[in-house]
Amino acid sequence: MRCEECGPLLADFVDHNIDPTKAEAIEQHIEQCAACQKDIKQIQRLNDMAMQWRDETVPHWSRADFAIQARSGMHWMNWLSLATSLCAVLLVVFKMDIHHDTQGTHIQFGQPANSVTETASTLMDRTELDARLDQFAHMQQIKLENRLDEFELNREEHDRKLLTAALTYSRSQHREDMSQFANYWESARLQDRTENHKAIRRLYSSQQSELQTLKTNLLHHHSEAL
């Protein structure tokens, strides 16, 4: 088997996902081929990298901005739908009657339908009206949800900014406090050191004078003995 045949099969070979005959041929080839041996090591290295990989946390970003904008492009259709549905409701609720005769167009409210005039409500099929009202309710619900989401997103952003500002302020205050404490500690340390030096000098001086006195007494005593 040549490298060009063996190479593309190496990944399957490492995964033990290969025909046994081919696997044997590959084994024989790689015993003598340094390049393919290196490729196998590279495959194993990539497998190890994948196993060791720990996913990073996704940074903060606006997940639904384009979703809200894209859907709000339907605005004018929503209004058209709303207007049509409102007209349908008015026609039914107020039993509006529109008829046209030789004297002109007449609009009446609350008139029952008669054999001569056609009311507007009979022109509208009841089921179609129900369907349109349902659709209207559904669209309104979605619009309301989207508005609430927008409000929630804005509130979250505002809270995040507030928290960031508070943390920044707190850190700067903390930094200032630490700096003041460090200065105080340093000055206290210097003062203690100065005091310690003085005490050591005093002790040294007193010991020197005692030693001198002792030496004088010894010499005097020695000369008297002689």
Partner 1 sequence: MFGFDQEQHLIRKALNGSASAWRSIVQRHERRVYNLAYRLTGNRQDAMDLMQEAFLAVFRNLPNFRFEGSFEGWIIRIVSHRGVDFLRRRRSNPLHQADDADELLAGDSSAGEAAEQWQLHRQLRETMQKLSADQRIVIELKFFQQMTFDEIATHLNVSENTAKARLYTALTKMRGAEELQHAL
Q: Which residues, in sequence order, are CB contacts of 24 under 8 Å at separation 6+?
A: none
Binding string, residues 18-37; x marks residues near partner 1 by CB under 8 A:
-----------------x--
- Contact between 53 and partner 1 by CB under 8 A: the answer reads yes
Residue choice 27, 38, 185, 192 for contact with partner 1 (CB under 8 A): 38
- Out of 2, 31, 32, 50, point to the residue binding partner 1 (CB under 8 A): 50
CA angle 122–128–129, rounded 5-degree value: 70
Residue 67 binds partner 1 (CB under 8 A): yes
Question: Do 13 and 23 contact (CB within 8 A), yes or no?
Answer: yes
Cα 87 to Cα 82: distance, rounded to the nearest angstrom: 9
Q: Is residue 16 close enough to count as binding partner 1 by CB under 8 A?
A: no
b/e per residue 131-170 (b: at least 16 CB within 10 A):
ebeeebeebeeebeeeeeeeeeeeeeeeeeeeeeeeeeee
Q: Is 47 in the site for partner 1 (CB under 8 A)?
A: yes
Sole window of 10-18, 100-108, 123-131, 207-215 interacting with partner 1 (rule: CB under 8 A): 10-18
Nearer to partner 1, 39 or 97 (CB): 39
Name the packing angle between helices 34-52 and 20-32 (round to 10°).
110
Q: Which residues bind partner 1 (CB under 8 A)?
A: 7-12, 17, 35, 38-39, 42-43, 46-47, 49-50, 52-59, 61, 63-64, 66-68, 70-71, 74, 138, 142, 145-146, 149-150
